[in-house]
Chains A and B, each alone.
Chain A
Amino acid sequence: MKTTIARGVFALVASLSLAFAVQAGEYSSHLKKGAIQLQSSGSIAFGPEGILFVADQKAATIYAIATGDTKASSMGKTYKISDIDSKVAASLGASPDQIMINDMAVNPVSRNAWLSVSRGQGASALPVLMKVNAAGKLSVLDLKDVAHAQVALPNAPDDKITGQGRRASNKRMEAITDMAYVNEQLVVAGLSNEEFASNLRSIPFPFKKANHGASIEIYHGAHGKYETHSPVRTFVPFDFGGGDVQVVAAYTCTPLVSFPLSELKPKAHVMGRTIAELGNRNRPLDMVVYSKEGSDYLLMANSSRGIMKVETIEFDKLPSIAEKVSGTKGAVYETVANWEGIEQLDLLDSGNALVLQKSESGARSLLSMALP
């Protein structure tokens, strides 16, 4: 879902992606061919070499899948695909109300859009991973024999079990609310459907046996007086250059915070630095970071205010979380016109975003839009 960029080096990364694509692939060589039986497909994110990370939250497993979508594409792709739900539904032989697009990600190598889709409802819903190219051609990723690796999240029935009676009643599941790949780490944010705790994990990639990644407790502080667990709803890694990667995250309790990636270590107690408070009715949905004219910006889609463009220049100078952030103190942001109804957001290239935009009629389009 997320693409990380480094300050001033985006163009370089883009030009190198061709080279990455044609190499044998040091990451792909860690994947093994075989069949994948997804139970569900939720969040998705691209790693290197066209490898797609897929959160199967029903199975409490994350897959890394070689999509084979490795043909490098230059910039300048334009997407204008109206009523994408109907097209996806038609190709899967269903009515649009039986389709849920759970996530969208751009493959930074090919610049094709990928969708994580559920077809049908309830326990029998079928997970589907689809590629959409700029011409609107849809294809389904065949999982019968595909190079992949997987890591189980240690969140399934992790408690000791007292007899079959209790085993049967364990309904715990973790919703993976977001994922991103950065510096050989897959960062995974989850939210339990039972205990209210933060579940942020940093999993090394290539996946290593018996390493489910470090579980990090994320907190939110207020007034310098209280702190509470704060599950992360959506986040984006942001490379300030020189190895200073920050994770910019929106908590479920709405503040926008940042913390250094380097703090995501086992048993860490991480309190983010609040960079903006978003107020009521304002539910962050998705974020990207980008460079424009020498400055870096955070673009955040949310449920009520259209899209917010946040200046990042002062991120590292903002007051610490320990202080109360008044309305005027946080990062400067503006609401960008014409970006209403954005439900999914990713970087298409250095000048454009790819969005899933819902119109007033309820139909959703897959569109490329010039970054503001």
Chain B
Amino acid sequence: MKSDNLSHFRTFIGACCVLLIASPCAWAEGSRTVLAEQISGRAQTGVAVFYNQLSDEVELVEAIEVRGLPRESWILDTSNETLSIYTKSPLEERVPEMFGKKEVYAGGLRFRPDFPLQVGIPYFVVLNAYSNESIVSTVYSFTIPADESPPVATVTEVFPTASELPANLLKFYLHFSHPMSVGDSYRHIRLLDDDGEAVDLPFLELGEELWDRDAKRLTLLFDPGRIKSGLKPRMEVGMALREGERYMLQILDTWLDAEGRPLVEGFQKPFVAIDSDVESPVPERWKLHAPKASTRNTLIVELGESLDEALLQRVIGVIDSRDNEIGGVVSVANGEQSWSFVPDDSWKSGAYRLEIQTILEDLAGNSVGRPFEVEIRREEKHLRPPRFAYLDFVVE
């Protein structure tokens, strides 16, 4: 958590100001300086930008100040038309000026941008001021230089980790070491068949990409229209994966992290598609190795098949005979075929239960409560599965 807060904080800088070159920038101690270049108009005043750069992404600017411009030269008291900041040169292209608050400050003008500045792109400062009863427009430009930092983000893991996956596989989870750019993800992902040809549109390409809050894990769903029985996409082009064939999931290094750097390297996951899995996981078939009392030994559950890693991490709990949940740490291993649990405190002698939310799925979306596709039988219509399934065990 600490490092997350730090990285969030690091995306902002403390201060930046545009002011007379000679003026000291008292509140930006330790700041760097870049001279704003005058690109047009009659010289009115020099402009410099002081800033603290703590990151190479975006910069929080508390204020942009212009000092030394004689009061009588302002166009309006509110300075609305005297000072404007743009992302494009007004000499070349007309774009809206940046949102911010303009105010008078100790004889100078202050612009407080509503949004942080971005490194590496030019900003244009336009000063319109009266000079000898005519309006003189001067344009300055500055860029907060980007740190040339090398790529750092990598693909840390792709789930499922097994190399044999059912042909009706429903999803991959792609884990990254750093927050990633969002909104253009599918362009950087390929599924290749054994001939190295890209499988055509295997994934559900949603406008709302399925990231976690930190933008470090993307859920990549296969197109359910190509998995479900009797649907047109499946009839037209078939399932994305064919039983017995070899595939390669490729993640390209062109994918940019949240700070605009490409991945350190691409990632490849070879796998073989095996028979489709159309059955629900059955907890009664799991092998449970009960730990000994008075130890903090690991409770190990062999699942007999690979299950969904993300759900395994959070939908199985351990409760004691009085229905109290036991605190502990879960881990998933062995191609997601093994779930284990280390309790915070020693096991006590007695009866325990594994409490399993029935939303737990296998790799093909069959949940404990319900297979992915259910054959409709009239007498069983519309039955909701219970929320939990249980496995009893005894600690001795």
> Which residue numbers of A lie inside 8 Å of B, CB to CB?
42-43, 57-58, 86-87, 89-95, 98, 100, 102, 118-126, 128, 138, 140, 157, 159-166, 168-173, 175-177, 191-197, 217, 220-228, 230, 233, 252-255, 267, 269, 277-281, 283, 285, 303, 324, 327, 343
Q: With A90-B96, A93-B100 given, can you name 8 additional A-B contacts, CB distance below 8 Å?
A: A42-B208, A89-B87, A120-B58, A160-B317, A162-B341, A165-B330, A227-B376, A285-B207
The answer to whether the Cβ of B246 comes within 8 Å of any Cβ in the partner chain is no
Nearest chain A CB to B24 CB, angstrom units: 26
A and B contact pairs by CB, cutoff 8 A, 21 listed: A90-B95, A92-B99, A94-B121, A95-B118, A98-B118, A118-B182, A119-B115, A121-B215, A121-B256, A124-B57, A124-B179, A138-B96, A169-B330, A176-B208, A192-B210, A193-B211, A220-B228, A221-B376, A225-B229, A227-B374, A253-B224
By a CB distance below 8 angstroms, the chain A residues around B228 are 220, 222, 226, 228, 253
Closest 3 CB pairs between A and B? A122-B258, A165-B329, A122-B179
Tell me the chain B residues, 80-118 only, with Cβ under 8 Å from chain A.
85-88, 95-100, 113-118
A124-B258, A195-B361 as given contacts; A93 in contact with B206, CB under 8 Å: no
The answer to whether the Cβ of B219 comes within 8 Å of any Cβ in the partner chain is yes
By a CB distance below 8 angstroms, the chain A residues around B116 are 93, 120, 126
Nearest chain B CB to A257 CB, angstrom units: 12
> In whole angstroms, how far apart are the Cα atoms of A269 and B113 in the complex?
50
Q: From A279, which residue of chain B is reached at the shortest CB distance?
A: B232
Are A252 and B204 touching (Cβ within 8 A)?
Answer: yes
Are A163 and B217 touching (Cβ within 8 A)?
Answer: no
Nearest chain B CB to A332 CB, angstrom units: 16
A94-B87, A121-B182, A194-B308 as given contacts; A169 in contact with B314, CB under 8 Å: yes
The answer to whether the Cβ of B350 comes within 8 Å of any Cβ in the partner chain is no
Are A121 and B115 touching (Cβ within 8 A)?
Answer: no
Nearest chain B CB to A13 CB, angstrom units: 29
By a CB distance below 8 angstroms, the chain B residues around A277 are 231-232
Nearest chain A CB to B323 CB, angstrom units: 11
The answer to whether the Cβ of B214 comes within 8 Å of any Cβ in the partner chain is yes
The answer to whether the Cβ of B245 comes within 8 Å of any Cβ in the partner chain is no
Nearest chain A CB to B220 CB, angstrom units: 10
By a CB distance below 8 angstroms, the chain B residues around A126 are 115-116
Are A94 and B210 touching (Cβ within 8 A)?
Answer: no
A138-B96, A162-B325, A279-B236 as given contacts; A173 in contact with B212, CB under 8 Å: yes
> In whole angstroms, how far apart are the Cα atoms of A163 and B317 in the complex?
10
Are B230 and A226 touching (Cβ within 8 A)?
Answer: yes
Stretch of B38-46, B264-272, B365-373 on the interface side:
B365-373
The answer to whether the Cβ of B158 comes within 8 Å of any Cβ in the partner chain is no
The answer to whether the Cβ of B322 comes within 8 Å of any Cβ in the partner chain is no
Nearest chain B CB to A275 CB, angstrom units: 13
Cβ-defined partner of A162 (8 Å) among B1, B227, B230, B318: B318
A162-B327, A228-B374 as given contacts; A140 in contact with B114, CB under 8 Å: yes
Are A91 and B201 touching (Cβ within 8 A)?
Answer: no
Q: From B170, which residue of chain A is reached at the shortest CB distance?
A: A196
By a CB distance below 8 angstroms, the chain B residues around A171 are 212-214, 217, 310
A195-B359, A253-B224 as given contacts; A267 in contact with B258, CB under 8 Å: no
> In whole angstroms, how far apart are the Cα atoms of A45 and B96 in the complex?
26
By a CB distance below 8 angstroms, the chain B residues around A122 are 57, 179-182, 214-215, 257-259
Nearest chain B CB to A320 CB, angstrom units: 12
Nearest chain B CB to A265 CB, angstrom units: 13
The answer to whether the Cβ of B244 comes within 8 Å of any Cβ in the partner chain is no
Q: From A138, which residue of chain B is reached at the shortest CB distance?
A: B96
Are A162 and B317 touching (Cβ within 8 A)?
Answer: yes
> In whole angstroms, how far apart are the Cα atoms of A108 and B52 in the complex?
45
Are B313 and A166 touching (Cβ within 8 A)?
Answer: yes
Q: How many residues of B contact A (CB 8 A)?
A: 95
Tell me the chain B residues, 161-178 only, with Cβ under 8 Å from chain A.
170-171
**Chain B CB within 10 Å — which of A160, A171, A172, A233 has the most?**
A171
B338-359: CB near A (< 8 Å → 1, else 0) gives 0001001000000000010101
Nearest chain B CB to A159 CB, angstrom units: 6
Are A196 and B361 touching (Cβ within 8 A)?
Answer: yes
Are B206 and A191 touching (Cβ within 8 A)?
Answer: yes
Q: From A326, which residue of chain B is reached at the shortest CB distance?
A: B232
Nearest chain B CB to A222 CB, angstrom units: 4
By a CB distance below 8 angstroms, the chain A residues around B344 are 163
Nearest chain A CB to B248 CB, angstrom units: 22
Nearest chain A CB to B20 CB, angstrom units: 23
By a CB distance below 8 angstroms, the chain A residues around B68 are none
By a CB distance below 8 angstroms, the chain A residues around B86 are 90
Q: From B12, which residue of chain A is reached at the shortest CB distance?
A: A124
Are A177 and B317 touching (Cβ within 8 A)?
Answer: no
By a CB distance below 8 angstroms, the chain B residues around A220 are 228
> In whole angstroms, how far apart are the Cα atoms of A220 and B317 in the complex?
31
The answer to whether the Cβ of B395 comes within 8 Å of any Cβ in the partner chain is no
B353-391: CB near A (< 8 Å → 1, else 0) gives 001010101000101000011111000001010000000
Cβ-defined partner of A283 (8 Å) among B4, B88, B205: B205
Q: From B364, which residue of chain A is reached at the shortest CB distance?
A: A196
Nearest chain A CB to B311 CB, angstrom units: 6
Are B95 and A170 touching (Cβ within 8 A)?
Answer: no
> In whole angstroms, how far apart are the Cα atoms of A169 and B311 in the complex?
10
> In whole angstroms, how far apart are the Cα atoms of A194 and B171 in the complex?
9
The answer to whether the Cβ of B183 comes within 8 Å of any Cβ in the partner chain is yes
Q: From B313, which residue of chain A is reached at the shortest CB distance?
A: A169
A226-B376, A227-B374 as given contacts; A254 in contact with B310, CB under 8 Å: no
By a CB distance below 8 angstroms, the chain A residues around B361 are 195-196
Q: From A142, which residue of chain B is reached at the shortest CB distance?
A: B114
Nearest chain A CB to B91 CB, angstrom units: 15
Are A123 and B96 touching (Cβ within 8 A)?
Answer: no
Are A280 and B212 touching (Cβ within 8 A)?
Answer: no
> In whole angstroms, how far apart are the Cα atoms of A121 and B201 in the complex?
26
> In whole angstroms, how far apart are the Cα atoms of A65 and B374 in the complex?
42
B224-260: CB near A (< 8 Å → 1, else 0) gives 1111111111001100000000000000000011111
Are B208 and A170 touching (Cβ within 8 A)?
Answer: no
The answer to whether the Cβ of B221 comes within 8 Å of any Cβ in the partner chain is yes
Q: From A228, which residue of chain B is reached at the shortest CB distance?
A: B373
The answer to whether the Cβ of B301 comes within 8 Å of any Cβ in the partner chain is no
Are B206 and A100 touching (Cβ within 8 A)?
Answer: no
A89-B87, A228-B373 as given contacts; A254 in contact with B313, CB under 8 Å: no
Are B384 and A267 touching (Cβ within 8 A)?
Answer: yes
The answer to whether the Cβ of B8 comes within 8 Å of any Cβ in the partner chain is yes
> In whole angstroms, how far apart are the Cα atoms of A168 and B224 in the complex?
30
Are B121 and A193 touching (Cβ within 8 A)?
Answer: no
Q: From A197, which residue of chain B is reached at the shortest CB distance?
A: B359
By a CB distance below 8 angstroms, the chain B residues around A279 are 232-233, 236
A87-B96, A252-B224 as given contacts; A121 in contact with B87, CB under 8 Å: no
Are A160 and B325 touching (Cβ within 8 A)?
Answer: yes
